A and B are shown apart, each in its own frame.
Chain A
Amino acid sequence: MKPTFKQITPSLFELNWDKEVNDELLQKQLHFKELLLKDFRTKIIDIRLGFKTLSFQTSKQMDAAILTNWLRFVTEEHHLLPLSDKIWHLPVCYEKEMAADLISLTRAKNMSPEELIFLHSTARYRIHFYGFLPGFMYLNGLPEILHTPRKKSPSFYVPKGSVAIGGSQTGIYPSDSPGGWHLIGNCPSILFDAKDKNSVFAAAGDSVEFYPISTKEFQNLERHQSKPNSK
């Protein structure tokens, strides 16, 4: 199924897929992104993904008819390129001093902290795109049993590295920020480095896994901060 297309302003365009969020949809989005960047390389100045959308800005006004036509003739690949098989391993300390909301969450879910940590750290998450904060990954794959509505009123301060659950998602705050998700741990890795040419360690399409570490290990890793490793 091809996406629907909307021109929002003379230089802002959006493709939309009315489909379930999953790997296959992400493959399609990345496929279209590549095609757009190939066919309109000199025109596009910014391109970004949402869970079901792909939008881009052009340097000058562009006639919608050009894109409507492009979309009509663009071939929808039957064999889309597979997503990356890179898996990033992120250490997370789930100890209560770094997990302000872990206990309340386990009570609400009627499960033990061990169960919650096990579920969270054995799932594999797909990176769909970055947003919200520089280096914040939108991840898909949180086990349904851990889905939790966001806090009614957001916290004014969520510390850098916080691993949190909000709605059907889990994520890591790369910097201090306000936030409305439930904090269940902290990751000591470098998630965003503005001074590095490669500011983020991973790309859309890669996967992420979490592994539990003790407070002591956390303190060690925090002293010798590094970017995450992949397999």
Chain B
Amino acid sequence: MSTSTRSVLNRERMEEALIRVLRLAGFILFLPLVLLPFYWMVISALRPLQDLLLRPANLWPDWDRIGFQAFYDVLFEHGFLRYILNSAYVSLATVVLSTALAVLGGYAVTRLRFRGQPLLSHGILLIYMFPAIVLAVPLYVIFSRLGLRDSVHALILVYLAQTLPVALYMLRSYFMTLPPELEHAGLVDGCTRLGVIWRIVLPLSAPALAGVALYTFMIAWNEFLFAFMFLDTPEKFTLSLGVVQLAESVHLSKQLVMAASVLVTFPVLVVFFLFERFLVRGLAAGAVKG
């Protein structure tokens, strides 16, 4: 009896040691793999161009020779300052409009009874199963016809369509966790439904709203396909488009493309890390209830 107990304990300890080794190995392999492109982007943008061309595989740069020349060039000589403003405008407009409409729609789907409500609350996410390219060709045709092709506002409209379903779903999940008695109290006191939304529901929904805002911002800021298809004049380009255009100019160095990539990545990563707990809470609110 005692022999078998001892061998079981040994095996368990061996396996646990193995798992610890595997875990360490996992971290050592995984983390660099995940972060390599980001590291490389930043390093390549900061190194002097000669260094990049002469010693491409230099993993650890010469720290006293790094400089921001590439960023300077990209911002001021290749129009990226303008692109940043464009992306910011488009993203913020999308965030504001999307959040507002999602609050109204989400409230309706949660609290109001109407025909088709079950269909909406469960079916709304189906929109995401449509491939963007299936929408892109006819939208291109329609917008061309309407003269809306080169329009930033048409782009915002498309982004709204992309973000509203999930925004609505997230807010619906959150609203379902709010006790309806609070709103009933407001209604009994003579508030209209809209008043209830404004005075009672919204103040309580700050975390969910932050989550929706974050999600919407990320989608609008990162988007490529529709910006690529619809915008023609360089002054209107968003950052995604600007980076691609930079890359297609064959005579320009790859370093500029890396600097531009850092410019487009940095804001969204910062915003994400600042607000990510709200996103998790917004999504999880529905997940717990199923």
Judge: A and B partners, yes or no: no
**B residues at A contact (CB < 8 Å):** none
**A residues at B contact (CB < 8 Å):** none
